[in-house]
Every structure is written in C-alpha cells, then in structure tokens.
Amino acid sequence: QVQLHESGPGLVKPSETLSLSCTVSGGSISGHYWSWIRQPPGKGLEWIGYIHYSGTTKYSPSFWSRVTMSVDSSKNQFSLNLNSVTAADSAVYYCARLTSENFFYWYVGVWGQGILVTVSS
C-alpha cells in the first residue's frame, strides 16, 4: 500500500523559501499525479497544485507566482518550494497522490500525515 511522508523544516523565516519533500513508499512515483494541499491552523483545506511524474505541473492561481514543484524519480520523491513566505503561509502541508478509476478523472486518493510549517522570525 502506498504511503506518503512529508519532510522539511518546521520553521521558516518570513521572506524566505519554504521547501518540503514527500517520500513515496510502497509504490513508484512513476505514472501518477502528485499534489500539495495545505491547511492553516484551525482552518480549511487549500489546494496548492499538482505535478505529473513526467514534470508537468498545474498550480492554483492563488500560488502560481510563488510555487515550484518538482519530481526526483531516483529518490521516489517530489518536492514543494514556496517562496517569499509570510505568517499567512503557516499551515499543515499535506502531500498526496491523485487516483483515477477511469483515466480521465483524478481525485485525491492517498494523503500523507501532514507536516506543520510555521513562518516566524
């Protein structure tokens, strides 16, 4: 069974870049779409974007000027970089895999446990 595990610094300074990785275990990163979703403390879910294992990306308009996602197939990992962070970027960040039953519709089928990132000086 595929499992996802987020890793990265739990504290980032304002104006710096938030960098997280997601390690995929129990399955291959190839052939799938991978996404990042965040949840500010006590608030709802926010979609950040997704990346195909081939490198194709699609970012939410709310983030596209600040976000970069990448895949490292050799490590079975994918990553998120969010630059110019502020306190409003403090959140639990989830990595996830999109799942399809029919090859034309994808839903979030597998979620990581989430990692709390706080933006503070």
List residues near other proteins by CB under 8 A. Answer: 44-47, 58, 60-61, 94, 99, 101, 104-109, 111-114
* Amino acid residing at 71: V
Q: Which two tokens stand for residue 32?
A: 């799938």
Nearer CB in complex with other proteins: 2/108: 108
What is the distance between the alpha carbons of residues 96 and 3, in angstroms, rounded to a whole number?
9
Mode of pairing for the β-strands spanning 11-12 and 115-119: parallel
Nearer CB in complex with other proteins: 74/101: 101
Q: Which two tokens stand for residue 105?
A: 């519709």
Nearer CB in complex with other proteins: 31/44: 44
Q: State in angstroms the smallest separation of the CB of 9 from other proteins.
A: 20
What is the distance between the alpha carbons of residues 7 and 22, in angstroms, rounded to a whole number?
6
The answer to whether the beta carbons of residues 120 and 88 sit under 8 Å apart is no
Q: State in angstroms the smallest separation of the CB of 14 from other proteins.
A: 26
Nearer CB in complex with other proteins: 16/46: 46
Q: State in angstroms the smallest separation of the CB of 74 from other proteins.
A: 27
